[in-house]
Structure 1
Amino acid sequence: MTTRYAHSCASRVLCRHRRGAARSSDRCADADLPRLNQRCRAIGSIKGGALRCRHPRSPAPVRCLPVSEFRFTCGARRGLLRRLLLLAALWMVCVGTALAQDEDTVLEAAQTQLDSMQKVLTQAEAGMEKSDTDQLRKLADDVTGAQRQAQDLARSLEPPLKELSVRLAGLGEEQKTDPPDLRDHRRALTRERNGLDAELKRANLLALDAKDLADRLEGERAQRFSEKLSARVASPLSPALGNEIAQQWPDDRTRLQALSDKAVQALRTGAATNGVAGPVIGTLGALMLAFPLRIFLRHLGRRYAASRAPVGRLRRSGLALWFLLVGTLTLGMAAGALAESVRALSELPTDLEQLLSAFVVISCVAAFVGSLSASLLMKHQPTWRLFPLDDATVDRLRVHCLATAAVSWFSGMAIRINDVARSSSALTIATDAVAALLYAGLILSALSGLTLSLRAHAANVGAADADSSAPPPVVSRGGGYIVLIRLLGHLAVIFALVAALFGYINLALFVEQQIIWITLVCSVLALLVMFADDLTTWVFKPESRFSRALSHALSVGNGRLVQVGLLISAAVRVLLVLLGIAALVTPYGANLAAVTGWLENVSHGIAIGKELVITPGDVARALCVFLLGMGLVHIVQRWLLSTYLPKTELDAGARNSISTAARYLGGLIVAVWGLTALGLDLRRLALVLSALSVGIGFGLQAITQNFVSGLILLAERPVKIGDWVRIGDQEGDVRKISVRATEIQVGDRSTLIVPNSELITKSVRNMTLSNPMGRVQLQFSVPLETNVAKVRDVLLALFAEHEKVLAEPAPSVFIDSLAGGHVNFNSFAYVRSPRDSYGVRSELFFALLQRMATASIALQSPQEIRFSRPGTAMERDAGDGAPVSED
């Protein structure tokens, strides 16, 4: 009884809300068990997760079903849905808060960067009036760097700004019925977007201000530089300069002595405090770098070039570049080691630190000049020289180059010491004048030596012309350019020398330094261009390992790889020439920041239209995708031809059609893939192609027709590779079916190129299409009295004995006609291929003539034709048996 009441009570608690139950005991069992206890008429309690109720008929409380076993009712489902929606809303709020925090971080970082850039611009504009040319150059570099940072910041702010705009667009317009949390979230996103948009506009405006300030700084620097060049001082030959130097020499000597004493005192203090172990080790390291290590590396490079380097000019250009790098780096590192050994003693004053840094830079420049001359001249090694120079010219030029390096080092250090010691202007002018005169003397001496070499070469050429047995001299195509360069050099040096004598020391020194700078840039450019050309030529030549591996991997011919090498060499040479021009027009790197900024702008992409931006990275990625895709296409095609298709029952023509179609399809997919990697939108490309389709249809109608015909040939295969076809009066074997045309090899081994449309739209005789069987036809005549049965037996015997004549279909012999007292025979036999018909026919004729002679069967002789005039004397004299012919 109790158990029955318990189950009855539990069944009443189950949901019957949808059925419209009227009894209170049949109401929904909610997840809120106290409310359920209140609604149920049964009086009970909830303990341990089970519902205990008391039925009116039950004498005692009865334990009903556990709460976990109750089914979820409609109210329970609605409660769960409300909870899930609440959790989703809380999650969205949390995510939005986190994203807002990230965006707040981005916004704060952008504000900090923009404030620092604005500070740089403010300081540069404030110090523009008080700075000299060198300081103006540094300020221009700082402002250009701030401009690049502002542009980078603006580019970095665009993606989060677009993301916020997309999120706001997803939320839609604000409605009155929107929940409060949604309105707050929309307002927060709007606030963040407005903040990022303001910072983006500020960054763009700051970049424009920086560009304008950099232009003004560059203009100011150019103006002051022009004023400096046009400044006139006392002539080096005038007594006024000597008197001024003599008057200010005591003060200058005192300043120089004070600088020397400061340096000595700093060294003594550092040696007493830290010892001399550091300077000694640094000096020994510098000596090791400058002499033993440099000599060893030069010897190592020479031995490697002689024994293992590729044969050709590459070993000479590579060795010259190696000498340049080794000489510059070892001597520069030696100077740096000396400077670090001095810094290791103690902390130097600012002026001494500047002088030490200048020592390292000037030493590197002098080392570069000496190493460049050694790498190009190759003294005592005429076979390793890149330029055709004799030993006498090399000796003279080598001396002048070393003297130029020494003068540049001493003059640079002297000028820097005067600046640090704050010497008088008279001593500075005297130092510049001495440097200008020394440079002028060295350049004139070098040009004179070059003139003597040209004259000696002309004399040798004249002696070779006088000696008839001597080989003809080699004519240099650059002789005219050398004469022009020599003339311009003489004029420039004479102009500089005259300007120096008239007191324009800065102008003279600038002109002479520019002559040296142009010579250095052109020499380095020539060396790099030669090395780049030699390296690419060697890498892509057919005999190299790289070329063979690349040819095998991509299934590309050696000629194509050589062309690729030439294109790469041309691109590298153009890039080097552009860099050389930039170096020539920027004396001593004055506009280096502008050049690097231009290169950085190019690296960020070139805008084509409003939405398409192509960057060098996109181009490189597209090239990589294209090479990788074409390599995969060649691999798949080779697998089809060598592995899969031979295992099928298809013939050679079908296999070629499938392989060609696979190559075309793969090429199309790779092209689309490459355009996608380049950043092109295929939808816009489709619009452009659809707009150009009409023009392409009219302008390239014939090419399009041939292309479609080629696809039809590959699909329907009325003509396939290996078929013997006849087109007009030409016949031959089909060797290749391409997209535009088909190649047919005719009987004389020449190739007939036929457009594909000719094979589709015109009549073509394919003699090997369905039944590649050849027919041999023999026609001849015998006299009427000949035993024709014997002739028939001879022919059938000939057909049966020949190995290439098929037994089925059986050969046949027919009498074609009886005319002129002769029996005309026509016989047929069949061979396996039409290509065998002509040869078998010739062999059968040879055998037929022998058999007929053996059987004493006469073949028809040529008919005798007589031309005569009736009644002539010749006819009467000749009689009936003699033929008379007359033209």
Structure 2
Amino acid sequence: MTQMLRFALSLTALLVWLTGAALAQEPVLPDFDEWETVASTAEAAVDDADTTETMLEVQRARLVEYRGKFDSARNLNAARISTLREQLAALGTAPESEIAEPESPEVAASREELNRQLNTLLNPVQRAEAAYLRADALIGQIDVALRDRQTEQLLEVVPTPLNPVHWRTAIDDLATAAGEIAVEAPTNAEAGRRDLLSSLPAVLALSVLGLVLILRGHHWSTAIVGRLQRFGARGFGIWRFVVSLLRIILPTVGLFLLVMSVLATGWLGPRGAALVKLIPVIGGAMLGVRWVAERVFSRDEDEALILLPASERKAVRFYVSIITGTIILGAIIDAIFDGHQPAETTEAVLRLPVMLFSAFALFRIGRILHGHNDPQPEETPVSEEPRISTLSRVVRGLGLGAMIVAILSPLLLISGYYNAAVSLLPPYVSTLVLLGLVMTLQRFLADVYGAVTGQGVQARDALMPVFFGLILLLLSLPVMALAWGARVTDLTELWALFSRGFAFGETRVRPTDFLSFAVIFVIGYAATRLIQGALRSNVLPKTRMDIGGQNAIVSGIGYVGIFLAALLAITGAGIDLSALAYVAGALSVGIGFGLQNVVSNFVSGIILLIERPISEGDWIEVGGQMGYVRDISVRSTRIETFDRTDVIVPNADLISGTVTNYTRGNTVGRLIVPVGVAYGTDTKRVEGILQEIAKAQPIVLTNPPPAVLFLNFGADALEFEVRCYLRDVNWMMKVKNDINHAIAARFKDEEIEIPFAQRDLWLRNPEVLKPAETTASDVENSSETAEPQV
């Protein structure tokens, strides 16, 4: 913890130093004449329809450079300008009417001099502001022009590749481009041959090693994973992830060694060498895609990130292999035609079979993903509708999108929209791969988190992995945007807009302000927790303060530390809180009416922490609830009853109500045990026996000694009470139980009767309970008078 605090303080000092250095460097005013030339050239390039995209990008880069300079120049002499405006405000406004009393000549001269200095300082700032707006507008126009051209290219129509007339042309173009590479002479063949003869053993060694790594690399990594699992290595998930990377690294290194050995022969020309150099890149990309598929749809059901049946996971891995093969074919076709201008339909014809294979594999993968269902518990009733998780919804949506893209892309290509088809299917595949990579890295970070915290595999279901996944997803968004055709300049422009911040009235909030706020607050919060831990474990236990006072001090320091950390973070970030004055005024009305109970409980909590009428661990009774105080917060207090239930009591009830604290200050308490004996028993003898029983209890205090009182001549017994003080009142029920057992056993031995209530029931008129005698005449009379019932 100390090392983390030192690192945080060092990092803060570095950030403060860098910020101070940046503020100390005064912005340099750009050359406006040169800027005028650059701006005019850019405007002419935008207006000219024949300007190429490359020229527009060059002009945009120059405009971005000048815009950054003007943005810095807008803050030129900001401190001096602010000081002059404050001085003018101190002088007040000049009298405008002739009737008003004229101001003194000294004040008027000072105001005139301050206005002159202010205008002199504002002149370059205003020019920089105007130039900044002009540069920003020109950059926007260039971006619009580039996007319009990109849209036109997507909607460009070429002849359909299904026409057999174009097949011959495509084959001829491919043969011509490949033949040019094959017959291309190396730049220095003679020197290459001499180098090959001198380094032939090394070339052979590289070739053999490369082949071994390609052919056996996957087997070695699988064997290592199996050995780790067999020996039960700690953090197996982490090591499995690391070792699985060897499936990419080893074969890629093998490809690189083979390429180096081929290039060392000197048999290839420049274009052939460039084509061969692409092999490790293409192979590494193919292995990477395959690795992501093996992690997401793992053979091991416990490690699969998307839980599907084993047969479906195997099918998905197979179709991913088909897609990786098409990726290789597409990259080879692009590399062959690099520097060669084929016919308009050549690339569409050659891409058609490749895209059909890719679309078929993507459609099958989408169909499997669209049918994904969450595993349901066995005890789920049949009538209950199965629950669908968010992951399952996303997977189903991606599967549906894959099927739509797989159908639409070939149709677009057949219809002649080659650019649109190429801009749809490969980006979608790249998106699926990126999302799989995000899931894989999230699982790895969850395993690392579980290993650090000691939670193990259970950490995968914790909240922190969700946070890790969110961060990884945000980091992958720029890559996804590039895959879907976004330009790097679009992303940089978006980042520049984000860096400039957002304006709320006259206040501008920048992301760096939030970053500074977060860094300072985290450091303050960590320092507060560190101080609390030191006080709780090292300082306060060495004092004579009770546990309740120690908890009150620790809690109070926590609240004060968090408040100071928030205040320092707001001040350090430069956030202006004056704008919140109106909000605070409006909230005061709500606090006065709707939040008065919350404020009352908050103030009561502060009083409880300061006065400490109750402390954590006290046995109290309030509002008919009895139990131990377990936690005191600023709003409420948690009481654990003897039934092991938690009762949340508002702090205002503890301050304004009546509270009985059985253990305040000490744990001494009085116990009263009532007992009755039959009439005729020797009362002095009973008193002596009860005294002996009470004194025999080890937890009963001898000073004051236990007392036995003959209280009443009861209706059924002679009533006595045993009154004694206990060292620890928390054991009251246990001692009472022991005393009662001892009284019952001792009275039995002494033949002393413990009476119970007896009652005799006397009936005043018992004859009314006898059944009345009926005569034959009564029966006849009743039968005659009875009416027939239907």
Counterpart secondary structure, 1:429:
coil
How far the C-alpha of 1:329 sits from its partner, in A, is 8.4
Distance 1:360 1:832, change over 3 A: same
Counterpart secondary structure, 1:680:
coil
1:752 counterpart letter in structure 2: V
Distance 1:319 1:205, change over 3 A: farther
1:882 corresponds to which residue? Answer: none
2:346 corresponds to which residue? Answer: 431
1:556-612 residue CA offsets vs partner (Å, 9 max, x unmatched): xx9999423422322322443x336524531xx5x3321232134324434444313
2:626 corresponds to which residue? Answer: 731
RMSD of equivalent CA atoms: 5.2
In structure 2, distance between residues paired with 1:258 and 1:370: 27
1:757 aligns with 2:648: no
Matches within 5 A, 1:238-253: 238=165
How far the C-alpha of 1:272 sits from its partner, in A, is 6.8
Do 1:776 and 1:831's aligned partners in 2 also have CA atoms closer than 8 Å?
Answer: yes
Counterpart secondary structure, 2:343:
helix
In structure 1, distance between residues paired with 2:75 and 2:209: 51
1:417-445 residue CA offsets vs partner (Å, 9 max, x unmatched): 433xxxxxxx5135224313332443366
In structure 2, distance between residues paired with 1:495 and 1:636: 67
Do 1:146 and 1:207's aligned partners in 2 also have CA atoms closer than 8 Å?
Answer: no
2:604 corresponds to which residue? Answer: 709
2:727 corresponds to which residue? Answer: 832
In structure 2, distance between residues paired with 1:118 and 1:330: 52
1:812-850 residue CA offsets vs partner (Å, 9 max, x unmatched): 333323355854334422222333333323322322233
Counterpart secondary structure, 1:540:
helix
Counterpart secondary structure, 1:230:
coil
1:373-400 residue CA offsets vs partner (Å, 9 max, x unmatched): 4424569995598775679847964763
1:884 corresponds to which residue? Answer: none
Distance 1:289 1:518, change over 3 A: farther
Distance 1:604 1:795, change over 3 A: same
Distance 1:612 1:635, change over 3 A: same
2:287 corresponds to which residue? Answer: 371
Distance 1:744 1:684, change over 3 A: same
Do 2:275 and 2:336's aligned partners in 1 also have CA atoms closer than 8 Å?
Answer: no
Q: Structure 2: state its 5+ residue gaps.
A: 1-24, 95-103, 373-388, 771-790
Which deviates further from its counterpart, 389-398 or 725-734? 389-398
Counterpart secondary structure, 2:638:
strand
TM-score, length basis structure 1: 0.66
2:584 corresponds to which residue? Answer: 689
Distance 1:194 1:122, change over 3 A: same
- The structure 1 residue matched to 2:759, chosen from 864, 867, 871, is 864
Matches within 5 A, 1:24-35: none
How far the C-alpha of 1:725 sits from its partner, in A, is 1.3
How far the C-alpha of 1:641 sits from its partner, in A, is 1.7
1:114 counterpart letter in structure 2: W
1:236 aligns with 2:163: yes
1:629 counterpart letter in structure 2: G
In structure 2, distance between residues paired with 1:873 and 1:452: 90
Counterpart secondary structure, 2:347:
helix
Do 2:501 and 2:509's aligned partners in 1 also have CA atoms closer than 8 Å?
Answer: yes
How far the C-alpha of 1:636 sits from its partner, in A, is 1.0
Do 1:297 and 1:326's aligned partners in 2 also have CA atoms closer than 8 Å?
Answer: yes
Do 1:376 and 1:386's aligned partners in 2 also have CA atoms closer than 8 Å?
Answer: no
2:684 counterpart letter in structure 1: A
Counterpart secondary structure, 1:725:
strand
In structure 2, distance between residues paired with 1:295 and 1:608: 62
- The structure 1 residue matched to 2:123, chosen from 188, 194, 219, is 194
1:431 counterpart letter in structure 2: T
Which deviates further from its counterpart, 750-759 or 427-436? 427-436
2:71 corresponds to which residue? Answer: 155
Matches within 5 A, 1:383-402: 383=300, 388=310, 393=315, 397=319, 400-401=322-323
2:493 counterpart letter in structure 1: G
Do 2:192 and 2:265's aligned partners in 1 also have CA atoms closer than 8 Å?
Answer: no
Do 1:120 and 1:146's aligned partners in 2 also have CA atoms closer than 8 Å?
Answer: no
How far the C-alpha of 1:529 sits from its partner, in A, is 1.3
2:430 corresponds to which residue? Answer: 520
- The structure 1 residue matched to 2:334, chosen from 382, 397, 412, is 412
Structure showing greater radius of gyration is 1
Matches within 5 A, 1:399-478: 400-401=322-323, 403-419=325-341, 428-429=343-344, 431-443=346-358, 446=361
1:121 counterpart letter in structure 2: A
1:488-512 residue CA offsets vs partner (Å, 9 max, x unmatched): 355335524642xxxx3xx246415
1:841 aligns with 2:729: no
How far the C-alpha of 1:408 sits from its partner, in A, is 1.6
1:569 counterpart letter in structure 2: G
Counterpart secondary structure, 1:416:
coil
In structure 2, distance between residues paired with 1:277 and 1:802: 103
How many pairs were matched up?
698
Matches within 5 A, 1:37-436: 106-107=28-29, 109-111=30-32, 114=35, 117-118=38-39, 121=42, 124-125=45-46, 128-131=48-51, 135-136=52-53, 138-166=54-82, 191=120, 193-223=122-152, 225-226=154-155, 229-232=156-159, 236-238=163-165, 264=185, 267=186, 270=188, 277=195, 323=247, 359=275, 366-367=282-283, 369-376=285-292, 382-383=299-300, 388=310, 393=315, 397=319, 400-401=322-323, 403-419=325-341, 428-429=343-344, 431-436=346-351
1:153-183 residue CA offsets vs partner (Å, 9 max, x unmatched): 12321332314424655897999989x9xx9
Counterpart secondary structure, 1:869:
coil
Counterpart secondary structure, 1:868:
coil
Do 1:140 and 1:218's aligned partners in 2 also have CA atoms closer than 8 Å?
Answer: no
In structure 1, distance between residues paired with 2:337 and 2:644: 80
1:265-308 residue CA offsets vs partner (Å, 9 max, x unmatched): xx45x557999649998996996997567778767766665566
- The structure 2 residue matched to 1:592, chosen from 463, 488, 491, is 488
1:130 counterpart letter in structure 2: D
1:611 aligns with 2:507: yes
Do 2:670 and 2:725's aligned partners in 1 also have CA atoms closer than 8 Å?
Answer: yes
Distance 1:317 1:140, change over 3 A: farther
Larger RCO (alpha carbons 8 Å, 6+ apart): 2
In structure 2, distance between residues paired with 1:564 and 1:781: 64
In structure 2, distance between residues paired with 1:510 and 1:820: 104
- The structure 2 residue matched to 1:511, chosen from 400, 407, 421, is 421
2:467 corresponds to which residue? Answer: 567
In structure 2, distance between residues paired with 1:819 and 1:166: 93
Do 1:396 and 1:449's aligned partners in 2 also have CA atoms closer than 8 Å?
Answer: no
Do 1:774 and 1:831's aligned partners in 2 also have CA atoms closer than 8 Å?
Answer: yes
Distance 1:281 1:708, change over 3 A: farther
2:14 corresponds to which residue? Answer: none
In structure 2, distance between residues paired with 1:692 and 1:698: 10
In structure 1, distance between residues paired with 2:67 and 2:262: 41
In structure 2, distance between residues paired with 1:512 and 1:399: 20
Q: Percent identity?
A: 20
In structure 1, distance between residues paired with 2:498 and 2:130: 22
How far the C-alpha of 1:185 sits from its partner, in A, is 12
Distance 1:328 1:747, change over 3 A: same
1:626 aligns with 2:553: no
Counterpart secondary structure, 2:340:
helix
How far the C-alpha of 1:756 sits from its partner, in A, is 1.3
Do 1:522 and 1:580's aligned partners in 2 also have CA atoms closer than 8 Å?
Answer: no
Do 1:314 and 1:531's aligned partners in 2 also have CA atoms closer than 8 Å?
Answer: no
Distance 1:743 1:856, change over 3 A: same
Do 1:164 and 1:193's aligned partners in 2 also have CA atoms closer than 8 Å?
Answer: no
- The structure 2 residue matched to 1:769, chosen from 642, 661, 664, is 664
How far the C-alpha of 1:716 sits from its partner, in A, is 1.4
2:139 counterpart letter in structure 1: A
Do 1:114 and 1:203's aligned partners in 2 also have CA atoms closer than 8 Å?
Answer: no
